[in-house]
Structure 1
Amino acid sequence: MRIAIVTDAWHPQVNGVVRTLDTVIGELRARGHTVAVVSPDLFHSMPAPSYPEIRLAFTGLRGMAKQLERFAPDTIHIATEGPLGWAARHYCLRQHFPFSSAYHTQFPDYIARRTGMPASLFWPLIRRFHAPAIRTMVATETIRTELAGQGIGPLHHWSRGVDLATFHPDHVPPDLFFTLPRPIQLYVGRVAVEKNIEAFLSNTHPGSKVVVGHGPALEKLQAQFPDAHFLGQQSGAALAACYAGADVFVFPSRTDTFGLVMIEALACGTPVAAYPVAGPLDVLQAESGVMAERLEDAIAGALKLDRRRCHELGREFSWAASTDQFVAGLAPMALETTDVRLTHARA
């Protein structure tokens, strides 16, 4: 099958969306599928306001058509609701070409955090974007319930996986970890306002706080929390060593749809502390993490969990199963209901 994936999030960005797409694309190609990625590097782009690491690419119908028609896909998947996603949506509607979409990011909450405006103002735009999709893929049941409540559907389950060859407990921790006061509390991810990292860094549980990642809020947080340890971007075995060497992984975000870093931490045997929100509610079990409205309580509880059991539960997340779910959610090129749905969809 020839699969076109249109995404505004792609390399050199480092985030859960890129890592998910990159890994699934590798699985698809290993199975014999031909995959083309329509991403910002194919077009003129500009840095996103307040987030220069993200490039916003802009193209009209003609530019998107050129990329897609050159590849001649059997199916089109639109991964993100950014400028390229809207351009691909426009193309599909014009060509009466069925497509699938995905909901990776809580954009209404994300934009609300950055603008101070209520999230309810942005849901109509999200509904409009996904309305003509044959299926919208979602990672968890909590997000499925939320989107259904917002009138978005049909919805299709697409979970996530973990690279078990890389993420396991048998890594030697970084040298720094041998000198820090215990327990070592670890955060991994984008260093940005929507990740709520201040809540992690300001929690009062004793020990050391370590941040792995990069982003627009890095300098501010370094100045605000000089006792924390900021290790920058890490990947592969170096990242796995950070997970394995920590005593607890703290996931302070309230706006993620899944939280890939949680299952990576679990696969390395590290328990998770989080808020009881979408993502943690679906990923964590009583034996692998503790959720509480006070992070101090969640951290204290997580530190009591069995690391061996955390590792066992982390191993249950498979990229092979995730890829099976993705393929099942793709829109076929010819679908009897397509013309009816596209007639009623708003361009």
Structure 2
Amino acid sequence: MRILIATDAWTPQINGVVRVFQVTAEHLRAFGHEVEVVGPDRFPLTLPAPGYPEVRLAVAPGRRLARLIEAFRPDAIHVPVEGPIGLAARRYCRRRGIPFTTSFHTRFADYFEKRLGRGGSLALAAQRWFHRGGRAIMVQTDTLERQLTASGFGPVRRWGRAVDTQGFRPLRDEPDFDADFLALPRPIFLYLGRVSPEKNLDAFLGLDLPGSRVVVGDGPALATLRARYPAVHFLGYRTGRDLARHFSAADVFVFPSRFETFGLVVLESLSCGTPVAALPVPGPLDILGPTPLVARLSEDLRAAALDALSIDREACRRFAEGFSWEECTREFERNLELIPAATWDAPIRG
């Protein structure tokens, strides 16, 4: 099958959505499919997203996107993100009568209501309009499936998540690993991910915890939080093996976000053998269940972080090993196979 993914979330951005599509594309190619990813890097003119300068948005991508699609002539088109590329791909497919799928990655409605106090219903309506243009919307969890179905999205199909257990592995077990390379007082409580308002980092950074609080990542809130919490160690942006290195060195990964559709970093931490403390909200609850053995979920995030220190690190690794990228990608593949293949001789609609 020839598969085209038209996504506003792509390299050089670093986030969970980008990682999902990078790994999915790699596995699809390993299964014998031809995969073309059209991201902002394929367009000559981009602008920074408001408040997120590291996220580039393609300017007027419609014509070039159409040429890229027609040059590749895919059998299946997937459009995951409600940005300029996603909107242009949706419009192109609708005009040509080409079926496509979407997937749900960001709770814009929750974010607007919680952070701004308004705009949630409008954001939900806009996302519903976008995704109902496709033949199916893929979602990661039971919670999302129930919520989106109740809100009029559909048809909904499941597409779970997984973790790269080779890249994210317990480096503490390897003889050349120095668990004290951070040279900080223990225990070390780590957050790794985007440093942005929707991640609710004040809920972690303001905690009275022993040892050290560490933040690995970059984003629009970095300067503000660094000034607000001078006792916190902000280590900046990391990639590749360095991510597993920091996860492995930490004693607990603290995940304060309330607005996740999944929370891939939770699995990455567990895959490195590091227990998790998080809020009992969708995302962590869907991955871990209400009473997990490898994490502590509580509205009292301080108590959760301290209690997580006693969790068996080997149990964390075993839990993560149950999330296979191969099976996850097969699920994505099956969802594409359930819709008609694209045809290229239909008349263009006005």
TM-based fold match above 0.5: yes
Determine if the alignment matches structure 1 residue 142 to structure 2 residue 143.
Answer: yes
Aligned to 2:154: 153
Determine if the alignment matches structure 1 residue 219 to structure 2 residue 223.
Answer: yes
- Supply the distance in 2 between the matched residues of 1:40 and 1:71 (Cα, whole angstroms): 17
Cα drift, residue 181 of structure 1 = 2.0
- Supply the distance in 2 between the matched residues of 1:91 and 1:107 (Cα, whole angstroms): 24
Determine if the alignment matches structure 1 residue 17 to structure 2 residue 27.
Answer: no
Aligned to 1:299: 305
Cα drift, residue 115 of structure 1 = 4.5
Q: Could you say what secondary structure the match of 2:171 adopts?
A: coil
Cα drift, residue 30 of structure 1 = 1.3
- Supply the distance in 2 between the matched residues of 1:139 and 1:181 (Cα, whole angstroms): 37
Aligned to 1:7: 7
- Quick one: which of 223, 230, 233 aligns to 2:237? 233
- Supply the distance in 2 between the matched residues of 1:288 and 1:119 (Cα, whole angstroms): 33
Q: How do 1:109-124 and structure 2 match up within 5 A?
A: 109-112=110-113, 115-124=116-125
- Normalised by the length of structure 1, the TM-score is 0.92
Q: How do 1:323-342 and structure 2 match up within 5 A?
A: 323-330=329-336, 332-334=339-341
Equivalent position amino acid for 1:321 in 2: E
- Supply the distance in 2 between the matched residues of 1:36 and 1:185 (Cα, whole angstroms): 39
Aligned to 1:93: 94
Q: Could you say what secondary structure the match of 2:236 adopts?
A: coil
- Supply the distance in 2 between the matched residues of 1:313 and 1:322 (Cα, whole angstroms): 16
- Supply the distance in 1 between the matched residues of 2:103 and 2:146 (Cα, whole angstroms): 15
- Supply the distance in 1 between the matched residues of 2:115 and 2:52 (Cα, whole angstroms): 11
- Supply the distance in 2 between the matched residues of 1:241 and 1:204 (Cα, whole angstroms): 25
User: Is this contact kept in 1: 2:215–2:232, CA < 8 A?
Assistant: yes
- Supply the distance in 2 between the matched residues of 1:111 and 1:86 (Cα, whole angstroms): 21
Deviates more, 1:232-241 or 1:53-62: 53-62
Equivalent position amino acid for 1:42 in 2: R
Cα drift, residue 170 of structure 1 = 2.6
- Supply the distance in 2 between the matched residues of 1:270 and 1:111 (Cα, whole angstroms): 32
Structure 1 pair 61/241, CA: closer, same or farther in 2 (3 Å)?
closer
| Gaps in structure 1 of 5+ consecutive residues | none
- Supply the distance in 2 between the matched residues of 1:74 and 1:296 (Cα, whole angstroms): 50
Residues 26-51 of structure 1: CA deviation (Å, up to 9, x unaligned):
11111111111111112221011111
Equivalent position amino acid for 1:100 in 2: T
- Supply the distance in 2 between the matched residues of 1:102 and 1:238 (Cα, whole angstroms): 29
Aligned to 1:39: 39
User: Is this contact kept in 2: 1:74–1:332, CA < 8 A?
Assistant: no
Q: Could you say what secondary structure the match of 1:122 adopts?
A: helix
Q: How many residues align?
A: 338
User: Is this contact kept in 1: 2:135–2:339, CA < 8 A?
Assistant: no
Cα drift, residue 234 of structure 1 = 1.5
Residues 299-319 of structure 1: CA deviation (Å, up to 9, x unaligned):
122222111111100111111
Q: How do 1:44-193 and structure 2 match up within 5 A?
A: 44-59=45-60, 61-112=62-113, 115-171=116-172, 172-173=177-178, 175-177=180-182, 179-193=183-197
User: Is this contact kept in 1: 2:61–2:84, CA < 8 A?
Assistant: no
- Supply the distance in 1 between the matched residues of 2:241 and 2:67 (Cα, whole angstroms): 39
- Quick one: which of 252, 271, 277 aligns to 2:275? 271
Cα drift, residue 146 of structure 1 = 1.4
Cα drift, residue 242 of structure 1 = 0.8
Aligned-pair RMSD on alpha carbons?
2.0
- Supply the distance in 2 between the matched residues of 1:67 and 1:212 (Cα, whole angstroms): 36
User: Is this contact kept in 2: 1:113–1:193, CA < 8 A?
Assistant: no
- Supply the distance in 2 between the matched residues of 1:270 and 1:303 (Cα, whole angstroms): 9
User: Is this contact kept in 1: 2:62–2:85, CA < 8 A?
Assistant: no
Equivalent position amino acid for 2:160 in 1: S
